């Protein structure tokens, strides 16, 4: 299995936020600290807010923070919410894709089982278990 750079950036930001749940972080601050794209991180934070994983606040003093305690957020929940738009294979697309093997494919169910095993494994780890302190710059 492979996750997108988008999800990777989001996971890094969340692991950082999990280390200091009492404060609000800006995307600029986290992007600079972690050496990642602020634009990509901003989009990831927007999607995480839609999934009720973070809450955001606009304006002066704004930013994002975890929506609930990090021990109640699993890595599986995060990855599922962000990777949902990226189907593993063509036939997993919402519209069914255009694979000519779909009617008689023997691989699809096995890939679906493997995907679920991947997510189930990630469900066993909480965000709190992966919390990362600030980097020493």
- Report the CATH number at residue 70: 1.10.10.10
- Higher-confidence residue of 22 and 100: namely 22
The residue segments making up the domain with residue 102 are 5-130
Q: Residue 44: what pLDDT?
A: 94
Per the DSSP assignment, residues forming a β-bridge with 66 are 54
Structure tokens given for 84: 């949902």
pLDDT tier, 137 (very low <50, low <70, confident <90, very high otherwise): low
112 pLDDT higher than 90: no
Question: Which residues, 6+ apart, have CB-to-CB distance to 17 below 8 Å?
Answer: 25, 30, 54, 64, 65, 66, 70
How many domains, the chain?
1
Q: What is the mean pLDDT of residues 89-97?
A: 72
135 assigned to some structural domain: no
- Higher-confidence residue of 134 and 16: namely 16
28 pLDDT higher than 80: yes
80 assigned to some structural domain: yes
pLDDT tier, 136 (very low <50, low <70, confident <90, very high otherwise): low
pLDDT digits (tens, 9 = 90+) for 72-86: 999 999 999 998 877
pLDDT tier, 13 (very low <50, low <70, confident <90, very high otherwise): very high
pLDDT tier, 64 (very low <50, low <70, confident <90, very high otherwise): very high
Determine the Cα–Cα distance for residues 8 and 4; give it in Å rounded to an integer.
6
16 assigned to some structural domain: yes
109 assigned to some structural domain: yes
137 assigned to some structural domain: no
pLDDT tier, 130 (very low <50, low <70, confident <90, very high otherwise): very high
136 assigned to some structural domain: no
């Amino acid at each position: 299995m492979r996750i997108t750079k988008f999800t990777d950036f989001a996971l890094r930001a969340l692991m950082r936020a999990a280390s200091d749940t009492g404060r609000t972080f800006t995307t600029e601050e986290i992007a600079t600290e972690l050496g990642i794209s602020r634009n990509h991180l901003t989009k990831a934070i927007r999607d995480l807010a839609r999934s009720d994983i973070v809450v955001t606040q606009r304006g002066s003093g704004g930013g994002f923070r975890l929506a609930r305690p990090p021990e109640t957020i699993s890595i599986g929940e995060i990855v599922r919410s962000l990777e949902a738009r990226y189907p593993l294979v063509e036939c997993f697309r919402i519209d069914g894709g255009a694979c000519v093997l779909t009617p008689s494919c023997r691989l699809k169910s096995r890939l679906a089982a493997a995907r679920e095993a991947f997510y189930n494994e990630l469900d066993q780890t909480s965000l709190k278990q992966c919390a990362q302190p600030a980097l020493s710059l």
